[in-house]
Amino acid sequence: MPTEILADGLELRDARRARAFAAMEADDIDVLLLGREANARYFAGAQRLWTAGTRPFGPGCVVVRQSGAVHLVSTWDEGVPGDIPHENLFGITWNPGNLLAWLRGIDGVTEARRIGTDSLTPRFAQLLPKLFPAAEFVDAEPSLESARRVKTPEEVEAIRSAICVAESALATAISELRPGVSERHLTAAFMEAIARQGVTTPGAQRVAWVSSPARFERRNWTEPIGDKDLVAFDAAVVAAGYSAEVGRTWPSSPAAVDKSTRALYRKADDLLHRLLDACQPGASCGDLLEAYRSGGELLPPFPIATGLGLGFDLPVVTGHLPRTADEECLVPGMVLALTAYAVGEGSNGALRNDALFRNDAAFRNDAAFRNDAAFRSDVVFIKEAVLITDGAPTVLTSSPQWRP
Amino acid sequence: MQRDRRAKLKDAMDAQGVDALVLLGNSNVSYATGASWPLADPGRANFDRPVAVVAADDEHPHLFTAFADLVAPDLSLPEDHLHRPAYLEFDEGAEAFCRDLAEIVGNDARVAIDELPGSMRRVNSSFFSEAGIASADEVVGAAKLVKTSDELGFLRTGLLITEKAIAPVQAALAPGVREVDLTACFLRGVFDLGAEANILDPIFQVMPRRLADGPWTTHGDIACPLPTTERELELDDVLWVDTGISYVGFASDFGRTWIVGSQPTVRQHAQFRAWREIIGAVLEVTCPGATGADLTRAALAASDGRKPWMEHFYLAHGLGIESAEPPFIGTDLGEGYDERQVLVPGMVVVLEPLVWDDGAAGYRSEEVVVITEDGWASLTDYPYDPYAD
């Protein structure tokens, strides 16, 4: 991280904008009103203040296809690239009337036939068509997702840089793992370590969680970790806008690892290799789900693959969206956070008729998940960042995994 | 706490003629269900967000999440109110969710929602026709305005964690220390002390002495808040600090001015005294029944008519499940809007006036107060060092 607030580099910006404008052209979108930071940054290349959690939609970035102009809500030019002139900046406003007046004054917006948004609120869904009665309003998120999901070489470099920070901080957090410390303490160690490297924005904020059956008895993440516990680390940072994620599972005391846990580590490794084998260009994302099924592994309740990039990128592969997975193909240039999640056979070796996850009761009618309501057990969780190429995938992460 | 919230939501739903709420925004879900979790980056939060459905005639909310063990361990929700995750960024997910929604609230319910992602608009559902769907933000906004005593307790704890974690950061101030080192110290502290999440990239902004030395702005006023960098602090730097965390779903807010490695000059002490006069004048009129305009008038009168807050922000904002929530006072919504903001007991307000003294930077701090039956009470007591009256 530099000592000044920098906009994204010229090559990165140019390559992204070329893709994004091509997507607008292909989908015949004249003007974009963007609320999501990832989309705004994809076009503008500006660094704005980070906050955690979802944000309500508001058009904070406006893109006009014909002129190629990018307009941005920003009260200052710090962190804004020089190709967005001052007259294209509009100060932070709390008044929707002022915001709408700004939109109306932007060259090319009132003439637009098709205006795309990346989300809407009920209020904007009512206001915008009244303000621009001649325009058809369309959902632009699919176009933007299709532009964003394949990374430019500069983006892959940005993700690699973010991975370096995440992996170094992960190593720090793992070095503090021992029986008696809490999940929260490990999270604190991780957060401090990323900031020391100049990155002050995490991607997720529960960095460590006990993945032994003991997790079902834990009331909160301040409790001490036991001497037979496995701890899953889910390290995620956002550096210069780009996400990096890496996951590992470590025993709190390696000497206490028993035979069945060692077998579980091997099982997770096998699953990871099956997943990597499925990461072929042109393959369906459904093949990733199949990599779980073919080995008899239970799907976790969260996605097994998500796109890495600026914010939320495709694909998102989960057993809850099987049709979406089947319809989505892996394409060279995609970067995935790929999760191997291996569930053991239960601490007593027997299937138990209670829930693996506390919400499994809700999965009772959901065929994909009926099985994972079966037993409580250790979990070994591994997450790698993987670049899809023309051949075998490139694993971008290299954090050491505990080996039996 | 959830029983009180439930009653307030029901009143707000009745008042706005709504049978059910569909909530996608993290803080709205947290308010309606009592669930809380460490918030993710906004990009990731868009696809793995929990979703809530609140039906007017049901005492329990419904929660859709992949992380029930994390977000909902102690909610005592009936089993049939916990659902598989709703992936509303995808048509397949939106279709499945709308089927569940119809089962929960019936087909003729008047539904309010807080966000309409494209998939939700595409899915053929009578709930989400773009013409005239009600805004759930307005329902939750009305309910959350006044805090219950339980809520105030959690807010106090979040503020206390923030103050405890910031003290060693202030102690570490020295020439040569980088801005990000302050962040590192703060993040370590808040998590060790029990924060659920950091909600804002903490601001440790070195202020220019003169406006003309700072960045260009649309209004010619101060550029703040700017993100931290690896810049090393220098002797006599004036730092404006602004940060906040979440604790059990409640936001905290902290703002002070610090000086690196030296004591304030006579001129800087005078800035602080001027700030004390403004905050004193505002608190003097802060009581139930006062309007936002009463507060802005008091602030203006105490600073010779010069607006003592940032042009792009406000004199005051509410604090609760979000780090800045209604009431907003002194924004570009205008004086008429401020006149309509009436303080009532139980509101939590962050006052953030500033004094700019071109040539010697300025002073800015934040005061968090709760409106009481007969005035206000402070929720914080962090010192103003190194400044003094």
Q: By mean pLDDT, which of A7-21, A189-203, B128-142 is the weakest?
A: B128-142
**A390: pLDDT strictly greater than 70:** yes
Residue A403 has pLDDT above 60, yes or no: yes
Confidence of residue A361 (pLDDT cuts 50, 70, 90): very low
Residue of B nearest to A367 (CA): B84
Asked if residue B136 belongs to a domain, the reply is yes
Identify the pLDDT of residue B131. 57
Evaluate whether residue B387 is within a structural domain: no
Q: pLDDT grade, residue B233 (50/70/90)?
A: very high
Q: Kindly state whether residue B384 falls inside one of the protein's structural domains.
A: no
Q: Give a yes or no: residue B212 inside a domain.
A: yes
Instruction: Indicate if A150-395 has the same CATH topology as A10-148.
Output: no
From B111, B126, B143, the end of a domain falls on: B143
Task: Calculate how close chain A gets to B211, using CA atoms only, in Å.
Answer: 12
Residues of A with CB below 8 A from B206's CB?
A: none
Tell me what the mean pLDDT of segment B114-130 comes to: 80
Q: Does B79 touch chain A (CB under 8 A)?
A: yes
CB-CB: which of A77, A98, A366 is closest to B215? Answer: A77
Instruction: Give chain A positions within 8 Å (CB) of B316.
Output: none
Same domain, B179 and B111: no
- Which residues on B lie below 8 Å from A54 (Cβ)? 24-26, 42, 45-46, 49, 115
B115 and B167 inside one domain? no
- Tens of pLDDT, residue by residue over A124-163, are 999 999 999 999 999 999 999 999 999 999 999 999 999 9
Chain B residue with CA closest to A324: the answer is B92
Is B207 in the same domain as B268?
yes
Residue B185 and residue B325 in one domain:
yes
Establish if B229 touches chain A: CB-CB under 8 angstroms: yes
Give residue-wise pLDDT tens across range B12-25: 999 999 999 999 99
pLDDT at A360 (0 to 100): 35
Domain identity same for B261 and B314 = yes
pLDDT, residue A222, reads: 85
The answer to whether B118 contacts A236, with C-beta atoms less than 8 Å apart, is no
* Cα of B251 to nearest chain A Cα, Å: 11
Identify the CA nearest to A8 among candidates A36, A37, A57, A42. Answer: A42
Q: Choosing among A84, A94, A120, A199, which should be mutated to test the B contact, i.e. which has the most B CBs within 10 A?
A: A94
- Whether B99 and B177 map to the same domain: the answer is no
Average pLDDT over residues A281-292: 97
- Nearest Cα of chain A lies from the Cα of B245 at a distance, in angstroms, of 10
Q: How confident is the model at residue A350 (pLDDT cuts 50, 70, 90)?
A: very low
Residues 14-53 of chain B with CB under 8 A from chain A are 24-27, 37-49
Alpha carbon of A4: minimum distance to chain B alpha carbons (Å): 6
SS (H, E, C) chain A: CCCCCCCCCHHHHHHHHHHHHHHHHHCCCCEEEECCHHHHHHHHCCCCCCECCCCCCCCCEEEECCCCEEEEECCECCCCCCCCCHHHEECCCCCHHHHHHHHHHCCCCCCCCEEEECCCCHHHHHHHHHHCCCCEEEECHHHHHHHHHCCCHHHHHHHHHHHHHHHHHHHHHHHCCCCCCEHHHHHHHHHHHHHHCCCCCECCCCCEEECCHHHHCCCCCCCECCCCCEEEEEEEEEECCEEEEEEEEEECCHHHCCHHHHHHHHHHHHHHHHHHHHCCCCCECHHHHHHHHHCCCCCCCCCCEEECCECCEEEEECCCCHHHHHHCECCCCCEEEEEEEEECCCCCCCCCCCCCCCCHHHHCCCHHHHHHHCCCCCEEEEEEEEECCCCCCEECCCCCCCCC
Interface contact A321-B92, CB threshold 8 A:
yes
Return the number of CB contacts < 8 Å for A and B.
Answer: 303
* B180 and B139 in a common domain: no
Domain match, B188 and B319 both: yes
Determine contact: B225 vs chain A, CB below 8 A. Answer: yes
Domain boundary (B96, B120, B143) is at B143
Please tell me if residue B152 touches chain A, with a CB cutoff of 8 Å.
no
* Closest Cα in chain A, distance from residue B26 (Å): 6
Interface subset of B 244-263, CB within 8 angstroms of A = 246
User: Considering CB atoms only, which of B37, B41, B181 is closest to A196?
Assistant: B181
Q: Domain with B175 in it: what CATH number?
A: 3.90.230.10
Q: Which of A37, A88, A121, A185 to mutate to test the interface with B (most CBs of B within 10 A)?
A: A121
pLDDT at A359 over 60: no
pLDDT greater than 90 at residue A17: yes
Q: B169 and B61, same structural domain? A: no
Tracing tokens 């003592």 back to the chain, one arrives at B308
pLDDT on residue A368: 34
CB contact under 8 A, B42 and A52: yes
Q: Do B223 and A98 touch (CB under 8 A)?
A: no
Residue range B241-262: mean pLDDT, rounded: 97
% of chain A at pLDDT higher than 90: 82
Closest residue in A to B200 (Cα–Cα): A51
Per-residue pLDDT tens digits for B318-365: 999 999 999 999 999 999 999 999 999 999 999 999 999 999 999 999
Burial class (CB in 10 A: 0-12, 13-18, 19+), B52: buried
> A342 to chain B, minimum CA–CA distance in Å?
17
Compare CB distances from B115 to A51, A121, A216 and report the shortest one's residue: A121
Question: Residue A376 has what pLDDT?
Answer: 65
In this predicted model, what pLDDT tens digit does every residue of B70-90 receive, in sequence order? 666 677 788 889 898 999 999
Q: What is the pLDDT of residues B88-101, one digit of tens each?
A: 999 999 999 999 99
What pLDDT does A347 receive?
43
pLDDT at B267: 98
- Smallest Cβ–Cβ distance between B187 and the set A195, A322, A357 belongs to A195
One domain, residues B129 and B156: no
> Pick the residue with more confidence: A3 or A68?
A68
Specify if B67 maps to a domain.
yes
- Report the gap between the CA of A107 and the closest CA in chain B (Å): 19
Give contacts of B191 with chain A, Cβ < 8 Å.
184-185, 187-188, 191
* Count: domains in chain B: 2
Which of A54, A155, A308 is the best residue to mutate to test the B interface, defined by the most B CB atoms within 10 Å of its own CB? Answer: A54
* Whether residue B338 sits in one domain with residue B317: yes
* Mean predicted confidence (pLDDT) in A108-114: 97
Asked if pLDDT for residue B108 goes beyond 60, the answer is: yes
**Predicted local confidence at residue B129, as pLDDT:** 63
Amino acid B73: pLDDT: 64
Q: Which of B42, B68, B112 sits opposite A55 (nearest CB)?
A: B42
Is B130–A139 a contact, with Cβ atoms under 8 angstroms apart? Answer: no
B118 with B220, same domain: the answer is no
pLDDT interval class at A346 (50, 70, 90): low
pLDDT at A348: 38
Note the CATH architecture for domain A150-395: Alpha-Beta Complex (3.90)
Structure tokens at A91: 């100060």
In the predicted model, is pLDDT for residue A76 greater than 50? yes
Last residue of a domain, one of B143, B158, B185: B143
Residue keyed to tokens 């309910």: B143
CA A148, distance to chain mean position in Å, is 13
For domain A10-148, give the fold: Creatine Amidinohydrolase; Chain A, domain 1 (3.40.350)
| B191 in contact with chain A, both atoms CB, cutoff 8 A | yes
Is the residue at B325 inside a domain?
A: yes
φ, ψ at A116 (rounded to 5°): -100, 145
> How does A360-382 read in b/e, with b if 16+ C-beta sit within 10 Å?
bbbbeebebbebbbbbbbbbbbb
Residues of B in contact with A236 (CB under 8 A): 40-41, 44
Angle at A294 between CA A289 and CA A300, to 5 degrees: 45
| pLDDT for the residue numbered B77 | 85
Tell me the nearest-neighbour CA distance from B79 into chain A, angstroms.
6
Q: Where are the domains of chain A?
A: 10-148, 150-395
Residue B139 covered by a domain: yes
Residue of A nearest to B202 (CA): A200
Q: What is the mean pLDDT of chain B?
A: 94
How confident is the model at residue A218, as a pLDDT?
A: 66
Does B202 touch chain A if contact means CB atoms closer than 8 Å? Answer: yes
The shortest C-alpha distance from A237 to chain B (Å) reads 9
CA-based nearest residue in chain B for residue A356: B69
Strands (E), B70-171: 82-83, 111-113, 134-135
Residue A4: pLDDT over 60: yes
pLDDT of the residue at B316: 98
Q: How far is B54 from chain A (nearest CA, A)?
A: 17
- How confident is the model over A309-344, as pLDDT tens digits? 998 899 999 999 999 999 999 999 999 999 999 988
Partners of residue A306 in chain B, C-beta under 8 Å: 44, 47
Structural domain that includes position B97: 2-143
**Dist CA B285 CA A52 (whole Å):** 34
Find how far residue A198's CA is from the centre of its chain.
Answer: 20
* Residue of A77, A121, A201 with shortest CB distance to B41: A201
Of B82, B115, B194, the CB nearest to A361: B82
Q: Which pLDDT value is given to residue A356?
A: 34
Specify the pLDDT at position B68: 74
